[in-house]
Amino acid sequence: MPLFARVGLSRLACNPFVSRKVLRRDTSSRALLRSKLLLTGAALLGGFVTNADAQQSSVQPLPAAVESAKQIESDPLNDVLDHGASLEVKRQWNEAIRHYEKAFRDFPNSRQVYQRLIICRLHADVNRRYRDRSFVGSVHHMTAAQALDLYSEILANLETHYVEHVDWSRIFLHGTAALEIALTEQRYLDDVLPNADLEKVHQFQQSVHRRISTRPTNGRHDLRAAVAAVAELARTEIGLSPTAVVLEYVSGAVSTLDPYTRLLSGDQLDDMFSNIEGNFVGLGVELRPSTDALEILSVIPNGPAEEAGLKAGDRIVRVEQADTRTGKPEIAADLLRGPENSFVSITIASADGHERDLRVARRRVEVPCVENVHLCDPVNGVGYLRLTNFQKTTPRDVEQAIWTLQQQGMRSLIMDLRGNPGGLLSAAVDIADRFLSQGRIVTTRGRNSRENFDYVAHRSKTLSFPLAVLIDGDSASASEIFAGAVSDSGRGVIVGQRSYGKGSVQGIFRMQSAKFGLCLTTAKFYSPSGTAISQRGVYPDVIVDSKYIAARPNDDGKITSDIEDEVLQQAIGQLSGQNPLISQRTR
């Protein structure tokens, strides 16, 4: 997600439900499957798991990995764990992550759900990293000493800037788990151990945690020495590159702290700052992976995709040699990346099923953050704009859109933040300041006092027309800052579904020892009333569930009209006086 730049540091304010079916008496095979997976998780995490919410840094004993069949059958998480286990057995890591993330929203105190989520993230992360050309290049070109310097630099940043107290033993534990999991993934083995004795690799993977469990882990200098020792063991016993070992410890230490802290490869770091500026190199499409295709949600005006005739609702079913119908769509998505002015071969399936092959250029594309600006109710002067993210250009683009609507006779405004994952904290504050005449907008609090800010409305002239804000379960972070400020101040009506609940701020740090970046959670944010957004989200005043968003494709690839968007219609009714406001906010 995009960010907020401050003295070389960027700050990011930026990703459900689980059906509770009637419990059934289970056969022992299902219980056994879950037991095996839990046992694997306990071994990989050394028998510990964290409370993933407010006490992320505390380490708690894991419940017994293998429970009795009777206990498992009566567990209210029965269906959740069953489905998760089936996804893990199929090695569908991304699907499993989404499943466990949704489950954790309903069962926030379940250590089992959180443990499986951590394990699946580690599996998905190693596969993602080894599809990243810049990361793989680092593995093969960095020396072990350079990798260890990067590890030390990462740890120093955690010690200084991370929002919670850093538990060094946990950092080391999760680094070891990342290495152990990497040694079970074929993509990792093919790249760093193509001719290895798999039996020796398995023996090393099974024993490494036990063999290093007595090493001191009282600080980052202890951790560097311990990781160097593991790297040497791996080199002498299975021929594994020390650099490949150390980078797993780097990745594992970072990726298991919280859902938003992550290591950025060189290419990812460049992409991150491109997003801040509102431009990137690509085809100029917004995509959503489905089970067998990459669905095109929107096409950026004047980009190469528009010039090639691509439209919202089309589906990309092949990228180069990767067919999404027989492989994984996320692999095809990775192949869309490439250098500026290069070309990519794709196959497009339109909504009517017709397929065509295209060769499309990759170019630098200016990304608009405001779209579909129009009067959705001309009679009552209700204007509409959809805000897709918060980037550097957002305040300027919103002002331009509002000016255009006012010229057309707008008397009230609907701002659609559905699906908006967030972005620049400063942009969210700036937009809110245009609507709020006084009062607090958002408060941030971190372990480092330099992260503590109170953002207060201060503009002398603000926009006074009636306002409605649309949110859903994918409205996150900076979107929640804006919606929370509007809600707490009573400035407008919030319509839709409860927002995602991502109440933390990330800083982006460039590493000096190598071309890597660190996206690090540095603070948590709170709405003007002091409400923590994390794990809670922003609740709408009027709850409406609509599957489709105006001007976006539906499941059949057809563009949704304003009339078909139930959330939009409810908001129009609120602003035009057709529907009285019924507060359904649940505290």
Tell me which of 488, 499, 527, 565 is the catalytic residue.
488
Annotated active-site residue 504? The verdict is no
Contact call for residues 362 and 339 (beta carbons, < 8 A): yes
Integer Cα distance of 447 and 523 in angstroms: 7
Q: Which amino acid, 557?
A: G
Helix (H) or strand (E) holding 382, with range, is: strand 382-387
Phi, psi of 152 (to 5 degrees): -65, -40
**Helix residue ranges per DSSP H, 108-197:** 111-129, 133-141, 144-161, 168-182, 186-192
Residue 488 annotated in active site: yes
Q: Are 417 and 500 in contact (CB under 8 A)?
A: no
Nearest to 98 by CA among 78, 79, 113, 76: 113
What is the pairing mode between strands 315-319 and 322-323?
Answer: antiparallel
d(CA 224, CA 151): 7
Q: What is the dihedral of CA 429, 432, 437, 439, to 10 degrees?
A: -60
For 286, list phi and psi in degrees, rounded to 5: -100, 125
Please report where in the chains the tokens 């890597």 appear, as a residue.
516
Angle, CA 262 vertex, CA 286 and CA 419 arms, to 5°: 30
Query: By the 8 A CB rule, do 416 and 388 touch?
Result: no
- Residue 247, number of CB atoms within 10 A of its CB: 27
Q: Is 502 a catalytic residue?
A: yes
Give CA–CA dist 423/388, Å, rounded: 10
Q: What is the distance between the alpha carbons of residues 392 and 295, in angstroms, rounded to a whole number? A: 27
List the catalytic residue out of 125, 251, 377, 502: 502
Residues 12, 519: contact at Cβ < 8 Å? yes
Interior angle at CA 577, CA 574 and CA 578, nearest 5: 85
Map residue 272 onto helix, strand or coil.
helix
Q: 3-state class of 467 per DSSP?
A: strand
Angle formed by the axes of helices 168-182 and 198-212, nearest 10°:
170
Active site (catalytic) residues = 477, 488, 502
